[in-house]
Structure 1
Amino acid sequence: MKNKKKNESGGLHFFLVILISLFLISLAGFLPIRGNCSDLTLKETSLGKIHPGIVRETLQISPLGNRVAYVAKNGEKYLMVIDGIAGKEYDGIHLPISIFSPDEKTSIYAAWRDNKIFTVINGLEGKPYARMSLLVFSPDSQKIACWVATGEKETELKAMVLINGKEGPAFDWFGSAGPGPLGRDVKKYQPVFSPDSQHLAYVALKGNGELMVKDDQEGQEYKEIANFPIFTPDSKRLAYLAKKNKKWMAVLDGVEGQEYDRIDNLMFSPDGKRLAFIAYRNDNQLVVVDGKEGKEYQMIDKIIFSPDGQHLAYIADIGQKQVLVVDGQESKPYDLINHLVYSPDSKHLAYSAMSGQREVVIVDGREKTNHQFVVSFNFSPDSQKVIYTGRDGMEAVDLFVGDKKIKTYDEISPVVFSPDGKKMAYWAQKGEKNFVVVDGVEGAAYDRPDYLFLAKYEPIFSPDSKNLAYVAVRGGKNLLVINNLESQPYDEILSQPKFNSPESLHFLAINKNEIVKIEASLKSSGK
């Protein structure tokens, strides 16, 4: 009887070992990372081996960080590789600013074959044209617009904007002489969707003049239009700069404004209710807001609206000095003014200014601390504190919160705040050590990145502000660090990680000549 029980126990033990082994095999794609109070699990999904002919500078990550695409060369031909899948070979490929739509569901590029160019949308080829360029997605990802041209001879080319395959009115072609994309900077001709994706506007060339086209309706013809169209945030209004009789004017919803020798920095306020720009008259400059002229100065720089659109500030030159002008009121003169910024609630304005050999921090008109020079400058999310770094001598950088110096390092990156505004993090350097500091607590030391302030190295908080992640460098490899837990090293992490939820995030990386998507899950042991 005892032997029978012993045999049954041994069989059960063997069965459990087999089950556990099978379970572990099923988790082959998961990489557990040990930690004292948390477990970090990484799931890898392959996005394909890197094509040997990759043109590295063409590599693009999708807006949400889930997909990757690049051009590869095979002999004299080019092909697009999207999520590890190689497309057809072409004579050439022209990339848009973004290959992927904002929602990441659509990919687009232009390719040419036999001196004809066409779109390739999710792998499907469109109608061939003589020319094509400036492909753009609408913000809602539902529309694609680009310029195309028809005709066999250069002098006979007719251009039109293509929206989801539908051709708009015909105009003159403004681009290069050869097949394929444009050969010069033609940014102002870029079709622009309104923020709500319901309208499309663009500058068109017609004979010896230019005109603005909105929703296929042609505006007045001018000698020249200086910039691409600017929509208000609510998509209801449209402005641009136009030249007429050797003078420039702002055109708002088709209505011409006052004429000036030149106009720069055309902008709407964040609420879309006000329009401002810098105007040139003779040898002076002035700010014009809603058609009302301000005082003339020798030079004007850095116009900014407050977030609520109620206030306007700019820097102006008077003789050898500069003043800050806020709603028409001048500050005391300084040698140089920098770092002009409004608080998020629009109630405070801060800047730095050189006075002799020192740079002074000024908040709401009151001078605070002074330094040899100020490095970075911002408000806390609750608008109650100014956060800045100042350097005195070349050996150290001081971090200030309000008037209080809280840390000194050899170098400090710009401060990042948690969504709730209660925590802050930044990279710091002390000697040969580089580490992230969170609320004054220094993390583990890592190698210095090639460029410390590169976006992918910027620390990022989770949506609930409880977790912090960042990309670090050690021994020439990249690794993810989240709450001081480290992932395995990768040859390269391609972009800043993105949180999916408070306890999960994802990123793309290169590991052993393969692009992989990493999904990281963080789980507290107390749960």
Structure 2
Amino acid sequence: MKRIKAVALAVVVLGGLFGCSKERGKEKDLSLLTTTTVVAEIAGLQQAGSAWNSEPIRNVPQLDFSATGRGYFYIAEQGGKFHVVHNGKTHTSYTNILTPTLSPDGQRIAYQAYVDDKPRMVVDGREGEVAEELEIPVFSPDSRHLVYQAKMGGRWCFVVDGRSFPGNQTQHNQFGFNSDGSRIAYVDAMSEGAPPRLVVTDLDFKKQTVREATGSAMVISDNRTRVAAISDAGGKKRVVELSFAQPDSVKEGPLYDNVRDLAISPDGASVAYIAEKGGARLLVHNGVEKPFPAGELVGSITFRPDGKGFGFLVASKGSCTFYQSGGQTEKRPYDEVGELAYSKDGNSCVYLGRKVTPGQIGKSIFAVVNGKETARFDKVTGPTFSPDGRLVAYRARQDGKRFVVVSDLNGKIVRQDPVHEMVFPPVFSNDGKLLAYGVKDGAKLVWNVEKL
């Protein structure tokens, strides 16, 4: 298991901002935080050229904000140990901390904590049993439930909200909740080397549907209602589809020599994948076969949120092409492409391109919005559309400086935000009038809100 260094520290936070001591019966505010707010100052963080009388915090190796700005955590290294600070609460110090995971609402956290080489899961500050190995914890969409795998006595078991359920000799390799957090789907095997099996179960592991020889790949729709997976059948492969609500009702696709790059639409109504038959590559969408173009798929097949098709990127012989269902193509002489995304209405798209200019260092990466290139930077990542589809926001880096950029649908930059030490993924308010994201500057963690 991969190991990283561990944690310890002290903080000054805005009291009550994250509902850590909310009154009985009072609901937490889980809406987007719409004012710029200093959510924490890391007390004792050693800065360049500074000196401390007490043991300083040497490093903050990891931190993150929830998508609403109402939750955060960071890991701090102090005195040779590490600890987590979550929403202003400082947790116990350990020799190592792995896989810190915030719940979707930002109010809960789980992570693997090590004392020497002995791991245990810490959930909301409470330690679980010492295990031989642990897997990444996963919260349900409503943040109420937490599931992870633990290896004890040589066998893997599921731990659901603190309850352990007997497992097999193998750990799961794919996992996901349904929309209301009442069921999970996962792929495992009965023993080492055995074929994979797809399991859909309730959280008590009493009502289970198991499909054998299925799950070399599994995808779950964004609305968490349907599952698609690759199934083996007599040396051939096919795609099967099912719903969380009725997992026994399975839709089977045709058999192929091979199936890969499986994708499912956000609403679960469509699937697409690349299949091989008789030496030919096919693009299969809801059972309809078309030849797959020359080149290699970059990233994944990306469905339009409006349900009217999909797009994908292909790299081939020094050029890159953007394909859309319906036959539209856009070929560019780029060195690389990636991170394809659509607007909510499906009418606009964005992806990233890279084109090196001979003799020039840096400034080679840009966004391509509806076929038009934005300005170039040393790095660009995470392009996302505003809810109304009018704007695209992304993070950029230039000459070591990090900031958020907003462009219009013609690729023209309409604003470039101030520079920060660290910048986290931006989110738009529901009305598209605000752009918010977390930043770190020195010892300050700030939820930054900009009017558009």
Give the TM-score of the pair, scaled to structure 1.
Answer: 0.55
Question: Aligned equivalents of 1:80 and 1:338: distance in 2?
Answer: 49
- Structure number with the higher helix fraction is 1
Q: Counterpart in 1 of 2:185?
A: 276
Contact 2:119 2:134 in 1 (8 A): no
Question: Letter of the aligned partner of 1:386 in structure 2?
Answer: F
Match of 2:210 among 253, 277, 294: 294
Question: Aligned equivalents of 2:152 and 2:72: distance in 1?
Answer: 41
Contact 1:410 1:431 in 2 (8 A): no
Q: How does 1:336-351 map onto structure 2 within 5 Å?
A: 336-351=258-273
- Bigger Rg, structure 1 or 2: 1
The SS at the match of 1:234 is: coil
Provide the alpha-carbon RMSD of the alignment. Answer: 5.2
Question: Letter of the aligned partner of 2:312 in structure 1?
Answer: Y
Q: Aligned in 2, Cα 1:380/1:199: closer, same or farther, shift over 3 Å? A: closer
Does structure 1 residue 326 correspond to structure 2 residue 248?
A: no
Question: Letter of the aligned partner of 1:331 in structure 2?
Answer: G
Contact 1:133 1:146 in 2 (8 A): no
Contact 2:111 2:121 in 1 (8 A): yes
Does structure 1 residue 314 correspond to structure 2 residue 229?
A: yes
Q: Counterpart in 1 of 2:370?
A: 439
CA displacement 1:208-243 (0-9 Å, x = unmatched):
987666567776x57535225433222333323234
Question: Aligned equivalents of 1:216 and 1:208: distance in 2?
Answer: 19
Q: How does 1:44-443 map onto structure 2 within 5 Å?
A: 79-80=46-47, 88=52, 93-98=58-63, 103=69, 110=76, 112=78, 117=79, 132-137=81-86, 141=87, 143-148=88-93, 175=95, 182=96, 186-187=97-98, 190=100, 194-196=103-105, 224=132, 226-265=134-173, 266-282=175-191, 283-284=193-194, 285-290=196-201, 291=205, 292=208, 294-297=210-213, 300-317=215-232, 321-327=236-242, 328-355=250-277, 358-372=280-294, 373-375=296-298, 376-391=300-315, 393-411=316-334, 412-428=337-353, 436-440=367-371, 442-443=372-373
Contact 1:67 1:104 in 2 (8 A): no
In the TM superposition, what is the alpha-carbon distance from 1:288 to its structure 2 partner?
Answer: 2.0
Q: Aligned in 2, Cα 1:475/1:200: closer, same or farther, shift over 3 Å? A: closer
Moved more, 364-373 or 470-479: 470-479
Question: Aligned equivalents of 2:280 and 2:227: distance in 1?
Answer: 27
In the TM superposition, what is the alpha-carbon distance from 1:379 to its structure 2 partner?
Answer: 0.5
Gaps of 5+ in 1: 1-63, 72-76, 118-130, 150-174, 176-181, 510-517, 523-527
Moved more, 195-204 or 382-391: 195-204
Q: Aligned in 2, Cα 1:395/1:352: closer, same or farther, shift over 3 Å? A: same
Give the TM-score of the pair, scaled to structure 2.
Answer: 0.63
In the TM superposition, what is the alpha-carbon distance from 1:492 to its structure 2 partner?
Answer: 10
In the TM superposition, what is the alpha-carbon distance from 1:362 to its structure 2 partner?
Answer: 1.4
Question: Aligned equivalents of 1:478 and 1:198: distance in 2?
Answer: 27
Question: Aligned equivalents of 1:287 and 1:80: distance in 2?
Answer: 50
Match of 2:389 among 459, 465, 470: 465
Question: Letter of the aligned partner of 2:200 in structure 1?
Answer: V
In the TM superposition, what is the alpha-carbon distance from 1:420 to its structure 2 partner?
Answer: 3.9
CA displacement 1:139-168 (0-9 Å, x = unmatched):
xx3x4343326xxxxxxxxxxxxxxxxxxx
Q: How does 1:502-517 map onto structure 2 within 5 Å?
A: none
Question: Aligned equivalents of 1:459 and 1:207: distance in 2?
Answer: 41
Query: Between Structure 1 and Structure 2, how many residues are aligned?
Result: 378
Contact 2:215 2:229 in 1 (8 A): yes
Moved more, 279-288 or 203-212: 203-212
Contact 1:308 1:346 in 2 (8 A): yes
In the TM superposition, what is the alpha-carbon distance from 1:262 to its structure 2 partner?
Answer: 1.2
Gaps of 5+ in 2: 1-34, 243-249, 358-363, 440-447
Contact 2:36 2:449 in 1 (8 A): no
The SS at the match of 1:389 is: strand
The SS at the match of 1:281 is: coil
Contact 1:334 1:353 in 2 (8 A): yes
In the TM superposition, what is the alpha-carbon distance from 1:378 to its structure 2 partner?
Answer: 0.4
Question: Letter of the aligned partner of 2:256 in structure 1?
Answer: Y
Contact 1:225 1:240 in 2 (8 A): no
Question: Aligned equivalents of 1:505 and 1:238: distance in 2?
Answer: 30
Question: Aligned equivalents of 1:240 and 1:213: distance in 2?
Answer: 11
Q: Aligned in 2, Cα 1:368/1:356: closer, same or farther, shift over 3 Å? A: same
In the TM superposition, what is the alpha-carbon distance from 1:246 to its structure 2 partner?
Answer: 3.2
In the TM superposition, what is the alpha-carbon distance from 1:79 to its structure 2 partner?
Answer: 2.2
Q: Counterpart in 2 of 1:38?
A: none
In the TM superposition, what is the alpha-carbon distance from 1:380 to its structure 2 partner?
Answer: 0.7
Question: Aligned equivalents of 1:99 and 1:475: distance in 2?
Answer: 23
Q: Counterpart in 2 of 1:24?
A: none
Question: Aligned equivalents of 2:419 and 2:116: distance in 1?
Answer: 54
Q: Counterpart in 2 of 1:33?
A: none
Question: Aligned equivalents of 2:310 and 2:41: distance in 1?
Answer: 42
Q: Aligned in 2, Cα 1:65/1:497: closer, same or farther, shift over 3 Å? A: farther
In the TM superposition, what is the alpha-carbon distance from 1:93 to its structure 2 partner?
Answer: 0.6
Q: Aligned in 2, Cα 1:333/1:96: closer, same or farther, shift over 3 Å? A: same
Question: Letter of the aligned partner of 2:89 in structure 1?
Answer: I
Question: Aligned equivalents of 1:237 and 1:461: distance in 2?
Answer: 30
CA displacement 1:6-57 (0-9 Å, x = unmatched):
xxxxxxxxxxxxxxxxxxxxxxxxxxxxxxxxxxxxxxxxxxxxxxxxxxxx
In the TM superposition, what is the alpha-carbon distance from 1:135 to its structure 2 partner?
Answer: 1.3
Q: Aligned in 2, Cα 1:135/1:340: closer, same or farther, shift over 3 Å? A: same
